[in-house]
Structures are given as structure tokens and as C-alpha cells.
Amino acid sequence: MNRPPLPKRQPIKRAPARRVTPRARYNIAAAVSMPRALPGVNIVRQIPRSKWLALLLIAGLSVALYLFFDSDLFYAYEFDIAGAQTLNKKEIEKASGIAGYNIFFIEPREAERALAKLPEVKSARVTTALPNRVAIEIVERAPEIAWVRGNDLYWVTTDGIFLIARVNLPQLALIRDVDQRAITVGKSANPDALAAYRAVREAWRDGPRHFEWSNARGLAFVDERGWKIYLGNADRMSGKIAVLRALIPYLVAQNKKINFIDLGKGEPYYQ
């Protein structure tokens, strides 16, 4: 007996197995005790050595700029002054033009030129040193003669320059200007008067110390007898002095009454 064929067995379709993700387990104690890191951020980052050096350099420059511009460390307010005889410290500091300057902006040669404009200063030397030291060495003109014009007293220096007489120097020879010509401090004195005085000093070391000068009669003085002696200019001064020193004893011996002796021009003349 024939059996009918059985139907084909169809395969059973099953849904794909669901992927099971393991459940996260948290350590509560650790979560409380450990700080939670932010994603993508390192709490401790190592700074390269080059950046440290750059930061230190910037900090150093900042300090340097502060000291340079805002601190008094590099500013010259007090000067070391040497050689001044008649000028005072304030005058020298003011004339230098650098009081209160930053040491890096001081030009010593310019300061020297400024100081040389003072009539009393023959030469000046300026040096600087860190942080704010300024040293000034002054060579002043030396007074040789006290020059009187009216009621005003001046000095004539060894190089022939007029200065205001700051103090009384009794050791100086004195010349009174009879003509009372105008005087400019810092300018040259009358060269003929200076030459005549120096010629007398050379020829007569222990001679008189007080004179007068006029362009008309030259150098003159009054001796201890009240005689007026005219010496004229510097020409043949040693010969004039020799004649005078021989003539005076003769006139004294003759008991002459003398008003003046003129040796300025040619033969000596007295009256």
C-alpha cells in the first residue's frame, strides 16, 4: 500500500540572539574618595623646560623694566665732587645739567662741556658708574689779581679771565681801574694792564701790592711817602724799576717835596 509523501520540513526561523552588555559595576567607596577626572583633561601636565626658561626671562625683564623706569636705583641725585675751590656743590650739580637723570642717559662729555661754560671752571671731568654714581672732578681758574671797578670787586685769573670775587683774598695784588671800563665776567681782562703788573712783579719781587691802571698813564702806585709813581706799560720795566730804586734815595737825601715821579715815557720826570 502506497503512503502519501510527507510534506518537506521547513526550518524554524529564530530571532537573532540579543547581545548582552555586561552591567557596569561601580565601586561606591572609590567613587567617593577619588576625584572624577574630566574627559580629555590631564590634571597634572608637565611643562617643558624651555617654557620655564621663557617664563623666568619674562619675569626678569619685567623686574628690570620696573627698576629702569620706576625705581630710583638708577637715577643720579647725589654727585661726588672734587677740586672745587670757590664753586659750591649746588652750582656744580645745576650747571652739569644731569641732576636727576637716569644713569643710562647721561653723556659725560656733554656734562663736561656744560660745566666748562661756568667762568670759574678751567676744565671738568665727569665719570659714571652703576647703579647711580656720578663723579665730577673740577679744575678751577686760579685768581691772580683783585680788580676794582668803582665799588665792585672782581678777580683776574692766571689765564687773564674776569671772575666775580666770591671771597676776600688779601694775598692778591690789587689794581684799581681808573677808567672804570665795562667788565664782562668770563671775558679777558686788559692785556696791557696784566703785562705791566707781571713785569713789575718779575723785576721787583718785594715791590708794591696795590696799583691803579689807566690807558693814558699805564700802571701806577703810591709809595709809603705818598709819592705817586707812574710806571707806564710793560716796556723796559726792569730798567724803570732800577732807575726808580736809585732815584728815590737821592730825592729823599735832597729833602725834595715830590708829588709824582713819571717813568712811563722816556727819561724819568718828577715834580
From 112, 140, 168, give the residue that closes a domain: 140
Question: Contact 222/259 with Cβ under 8 angstroms?
Answer: no
pLDDT for the residue 32: 45
pLDDT for the residue 68: 57
Which residues lie across from 126 on neighbouring strands?
136
Question: Contact 182/189 with Cβ under 8 angstroms?
Answer: no
Question: Contact 237/230 with Cβ under 8 angstroms?
Answer: no
The CATH number for 123's domain is: 3.10.20.310
Q: Say yes or no: 79 and 123 in one domain.
A: yes
Burial 77-92 (b: 16+ CB within 10 A, else e): eebebebbebbeeeeb
pLDDT for the residue 66: 57
SS (H, E, C) 252-270: HHCCCCCCEEECCCCCCEE
Residue 57 lies in a domain: no
Alpha-carbon torsion, ordered 250, 260, 222, 176, to 10 deg: -150
108-116 helix and 89-96 helix, angle to the nearest 10 degrees: 120
Task: Give which of 268, 183, 182, 179 is closest to 218, Cα–Cα.
Answer: 179
For every residue of 120-173, DSSP letters joined together read TEEEEEEEEETTTEEEEEEEEPPEEEEEEETTEEEEEETTSBEEE--S--TTSE
Task: Give which of 95, 85, 80, 90 is closest to 136, Cα–Cα.
Answer: 80
- Order the strands of the 260-262 sheet from edge to edge: 162-164, 152-157, 143-149, 173-177, 210-214, 218-222, 228-232, 260-262, 269-270
> Whole-model pTM?
0.73
Reading the chain (271 residues) residue by residue, the pLDDT tens digits are: 455 555 555 554 555 555 544 544 445 444 444 455 555 545 445 667 776 677 777 766 656 655 555 678 899 999 999 999 999 999 999 999 999 999 999 999 999 999 999 999 999 999 999 999 999 999 999 999 999 999 999 999 999 999 999 999 999 999 999 999 999 999 999 999 999 999 999 999 999 999 999 999 999 999 999 999 999 999 999 999 999 999 999 999 999 899 999 999 878 899 9
From 140, 156, 189, give the residue that closes a domain: 140
Residue 9 lies in a domain: no
Which residues lie across from 180 on neighbouring strands?
none
Q: Say yes or no: 97 and 127 in one domain.
A: yes
Q: In the chain, how many domains are there?
A: 2
Query: What does DSSP say about strands 173-177 and 152-157: parallel, antiparallel, or unpaired?
Result: unpaired
Integer Cα distance of 248 and 263 in angstroms: 12
Integer Cα distance of 122 and 247 in angstroms: 43
From 140, 163, 191, give the residue that closes a domain: 140
Question: Contact 174/181 with Cβ under 8 angstroms?
Answer: no
Grid cell of 243 as nine digits: 732807575
Read off the DSSP letter of residue 102. B
Residue 52 lies in a domain: no
Integer Cα distance of 220 and 196 in angstroms: 10
Integer Cα distance of 110 and 133 in angstroms: 17
Domain that holds residue 226: 143-270
Q: Say yes or no: 106 and 127 in one domain.
A: yes
The CATH number for 181's domain is: 3.40.50.11690
